[in-house]
Chain A
Amino acid sequence: MGLASFIRSKLSSADVNSQIDRIKKPIGTLGYDPWGYNNDSVKFGMTLTRHLYEKYFRVETSGIENIPAEGPVLIIGNHSGQLPLDGILVGHALANREVNPRLPRAMIERFFPTVPWLGNMLNEVGAVLGDPINCAKMLENDEAIIVFPEGVRGSGKLYKDRYQLQRFGNGFMHLAMKYNAPIVPVGVVGCEETIPAIANIKPLAKALGVPYAPVALPFVLPAKVHLNFGKPMYFDSNEIPEEQVTERVEAVKSEINRLINKGLTERKRLF
């Protein structure tokens, strides 16, 4: 047994393993899917995120039952906090749902595959390059997909702009319409406070080939996180002008805004 396998075996827990085994994934004979998802890595990753979810961020979730038990679905949320912690927490919430758990896939920024170790690691736990073809193929596979339509505009924003939704791309709506996938909005509250950034050093980001280089504390703060899932939104697949697609995107954005405000109202303290 190699060192990595030994560490994995020591860190994975039996109840997490049985929870993952309950969820059937379309994988090949060696436990991989075409995007690099790997069952063993997910078990290991889930054990680590359980501590983050339950102990560090003490996540409170409501409305998780709104995500359909099966079939294609897009989980659309607000993006924040410099690191993709929001995607990890939303994914963990759905994978550990009491009834009909699902292992969702998260669409990630395009620079991740270029980062050694991190890119592969994210793929192994289910994250996928944010490409419309990937998203379409996974919806065909009846996957639940987490998308943050703000992209780096959302995750890289400064603390002074917290909870202000940035521009949403329309791509997710086109895919939802084409594949008859319901949209479940989610308002994430708390991740903005995990790594508050006061500035973005653009020249440094450019030199490093990363989307942003935040001026922030060199650790993640244990902010309490609230995840509020809304009711599924259904959109027909009729051919409509882009202007009307944008109107539909705005409707999803308004719902997410409402869910964020709900979370902010419910929140008693930051940490």
Chain B
Amino acid sequence: MSKKTRPQILVTGAAGTLAQQVINRLSATCDLVAVDFREKVDLGDSIPSYCIDFNKRVFEDLFRRYQFDGVIHLGRVQSSELTRMRRYNANVLGTQKLLDLSQKYGVKRVIVLSTYHVYGAVAYNPALIDESAPLKSAGLSADLVDSVELENLANLYLWRYPELNVTILRACNIVGPGVRNTMSRLLSSKAAPVLAGFSPMMQFIHIDDMADAITLTWQKTTKGVFNVAPHDWVAYQQALKLCGCTRIPIVSVPPVLPKTIARILKLRSFPHYLLAFFKYPVVIDGRTFAKEFNFEPKRSLTEIFHYYRNHK
């Protein structure tokens, strides 16, 4: 039997554009297995792809069949998707199962994609929030609890099982071709809601750069928690303008009014529990990650906004 030379990696969230970009980048040097709980994705003959719920027993069969060296967990359900309970099951219980199995089957590298949403949007946020800042999100909205819980779990495994070499990446707004999250939907739309009188500073990372960041993280075994964001900023309303979106102001005071409007409209791109992110800035400091992993984003904000403007 020939000795295994290429590392075997499990990539979750395979139906997403980001996972597919990461798979493309790693496929030359690694053997990959893709999994998604939403749908089975065809990634060619060389990459086995599965549609499995992490909470089902058959998920463990994957770990038995393939001897994974690494797990790249990109399959976090975003806060705009599914119900709160289903998100909790997928993000928290599903991640726990994934980490348990990783520990049980001797995985040596785990990368978990998180979000800057965990810091929470409050009026008193300083700018350039670093990784040691408290995660206020859970106290602000029950709909963001699963994001914080997912992080807490990953942190627990990071310290309890150092051999897993867990790295958590808290990314800013990931945008660009094929991205279907809240922010990308807003930037691609012809008209986007804004809270009247508020235009918080925001950060955007191109999906290609984010895929590069994850690939660099795989290549260097530094465990810990890292913010991933370019050292560049723009006000939300200015970003919409540059993307060619018409801004639709929503009355912002008293705060109960925009919340009620968002609840009534039920816009996927402007959910009521994310309203604070369109009011107060959550600017993260990505310099530690950039230095540690020698990461430099290649796509500028102008390039990102050009893409959205040209694809209206």
Q: Is the CB of A110 within 8 A of B123?
A: yes
Q: Is B47 interfacial (CB 8 A cutoff)?
A: no
Q: Is the CB of B198 within 8 A of A120?
A: yes
Q: Is the CB of A116 within 8 A of B253?
A: yes
- Closest-by-CB residue of B relative to A38 is B235
**Chain B positions 226-243 with a Cβ under 8 Å from a chain A Cβ:** 231-235, 238, 242
Q: Which of B197, B242, B302 has the most CB of A within 10 A?
A: B197
Which chain B positions have C-beta within 8 A of A202? none
Q: Is B101 interfacial (CB 8 A cutoff)?
A: no
Q: Please classify the interface of chain B as helix (H, G, I), strand (E, B), loop, or mixed, using the class held by over half of its residues.
A: loop
Q: Is the CB of B196 within 8 A of A116?
A: yes
Which one of B14-22, B51-59, B124-132, B217-225 is at the A interface? B124-132
Min C-beta distance of A2 to chain B, whole Å:
8
A129-B124, A134-B127, A137-B128 known; A30+B232 contact, CB < 8 A: yes
- Closest-by-CB residue of A relative to B195 is A116
- The 0/1 profile, CB within 8 Å of B marked 1, for residues 92-123 of chain A is 00000000000000000011011111111001
A124 to B273, CA, bound (A): 26
Q: Is the CB of A32 within 8 A of B234?
A: yes
Which chain B positions have C-beta within 8 A of A137? 126-128
Min C-beta distance of B134 to chain A, whole Å:
12
Q: Interface range on chain A: under 10, 10 to 19, 20 to 34, or 35 or more?
A: 20 to 34
A34 to B124, CA, bound (A): 14
A134 to B127, CA, bound (A): 6
A116-B197, A116-B198, A129-B124 known; A34+B283 contact, CB < 8 A: yes
Which residues from chain B sit less than 8 Å from chain A, CB to CB?
123-128, 195-199, 201, 231-235, 238, 242, 252-253, 280-281, 283, 300-302
Lowest 5 CB-CB distances: which A-B pairs, in order? A116-B197, A28-B232, A133-B126, A34-B127, A117-B197
30 A–B contacts, CB within 8 A, in A order = A28-B231, A28-B233, A28-B234, A29-B232, A30-B232, A30-B301, A32-B233, A32-B235, A32-B238, A34-B127, A34-B128, A34-B201, A35-B201, A36-B127, A36-B201, A36-B235, A38-B235, A110-B124, A113-B123, A113-B124, A116-B196, A116-B252, A117-B197, A119-B197, A119-B198, A123-B201, A129-B126, A131-B124, A133-B126, A137-B128
